[in-house]
Chain A
């Protein structure tokens, strides 16, 4: 069963404007890897050149930050949702 991945506004231009995509994978790392293969432009916005998730992008499994679970090794079940949440700075301009 594919997992629902929520794409933030800032990254939707790399997912053909989709706000939600369904991606296969048993762990967070598998799903993000498959997501990056499916949408190649997204990859550099998610990962640094050495392959770690960028520090201004957080990934949540349901409501929990994967940094406090088992990171990329966190197992993902059928009913789980993965959310990508980058920092945004807007407000005043």
Chain B
């Protein structure tokens, strides 16, 4: 039987068609495949671009965010003209421009336990490029329950991880990491930073693995964790094993349906235990703090960001002690004074307040919205980063 590819498709994909490992049959598989990208961000961008160029016939994308100027340093599917637009729309426009043979399905929602199975069930491969642990575990569990392979990638600063979690053939994400870190122990990208090229490297690895899974060719990263260090320019490979005691893909699974992942990742609020750490911390708005400083109130403003953030912008008259150093340096502070703590957005400063409270500081207040809020409400000459 001759190919069902059209002449236009044959021309477009000719470099694939002359590869024996792809050929006409492989290209038909790609065209008939449905791949779901979780997130149209740093990893999702190169994934979407290469999968679309390669001729994956249906690309679904789950995202609910809009394009921000700070995304453009790495999220190459979006452009300056797209700022403020839904990421789904700019990704769709890019894909349509690149390859009209691709159908884009837009899932404009936050993936959660109520919708995940319904969204994922129609896809052949899932490529996870999310930015938080709750969604990582949700995507893993949904893929295990549905029997779908997950081309996984994750990044931090200059370091990346990639694997394929496919419970039918090997370990899942929970076999690798049974539990997430508690909130605050590991900084996210917004706090930790990421070199723009890095998601390009890890995302294209995910794209390669996705295509191999569709073609059924080569050795996918099932049972292997690839570690990439951009600074050393080194790849290393760790052997992963299926954990017989894995709560979802093990011999006696205790998880048989999706759970509450926010709670699982310690992000609360749980039903019977209100979030103690932050509920006890008083907050002050940027404009209220400005008024108090202008009035000459004797308040001590503590900046708990990192020195390189302090180099970008600062509020005059503040003292810098990075959150990570607070544990050894808090005795430099005067517990008899009122201390107002700020960071970039308010998250790290809330942790700092909780820590200071535990160590005998009775008069600590968190600056809501951090220096970013200060820029919005008080002083627009302060750069937002």
Contacts and interface: CB of A to CB of B under 8 A. Distances in A.
A12 B315 CA distance: 28
Contacts of B286: none
A21 interface: no
A50 to B, nearest CB: 15
A13 B161 CA distance: 20
B44 interface: yes
Interface stretch (A25-33, A70-78, A79-87): A79-87
A47 B43 CA distance: 31
Contacts of A91: 39, 41-44, 128-131, 153-155, 189, 199, 202
Given A56-B180, A65-B238, A83-B236, A89 B41 contact: no
A47 to B, nearest CB: 12
Contact of A86 (B65, B181, B194): B181
B241 A90 contact: no
Contact residue range for chain A? 20 to 34
A88 B130 contact: no
A88 B44 contact: no
Contacts of B132: 89
Interface string B136-155: 10000000000000000111
B240 interface: yes
Given A63-B237, A68-B241, A88-B161, A56 B131 contact: no
B156 A55 contact: no
B209 interface: no
A1 to B, nearest CB: 21
A89 B136 contact: yes
B238 to A, nearest CB: 5
Contacts of B180: 56, 87, 89
Contacts, number: 118
A19 B156 CA distance: 14
B264 interface: no
Interface in B228-262: 229, 231-232, 236-241, 243
Contacts of B237: 63
A12 B344 CA distance: 22
A41 B131 CA distance: 26
B131 A90 contact: yes
Interface in B154-171: 154-159, 161
A83 B232 CA distance: 15
Nearest to B230: A9
B188 A93 contact: yes
Given A85-B227, A88-B155, A91-B129, A45 B178 contact: no
A87 B181 contact: yes
B225 interface: yes
Given A10-B186, A83-B238, A90 B192 contact: yes
A89 B155 CA distance: 7
Contact of A92 (B129, B229, B328): B129
Interface in A49-77: 54-56, 58, 60, 63-65, 67-68
A35 to B, nearest CB: 18
Contact of A58 (B158, B176, B190): B176
Interface of A: 8-10, 13, 19, 41, 45, 54-56, 58, 60, 63-65, 67-68, 83, 85-93
Given A9-B157, A83-B238, 17 more contacts: A8-B159, A10-B157, A10-B192, A41-B327, A45-B185, A56-B179, A64-B239, A87-B136, A87-B154, A88-B156, A88-B159, A89-B133, A89-B188, A91-B42, A91-B131, A91-B189, A92-B42
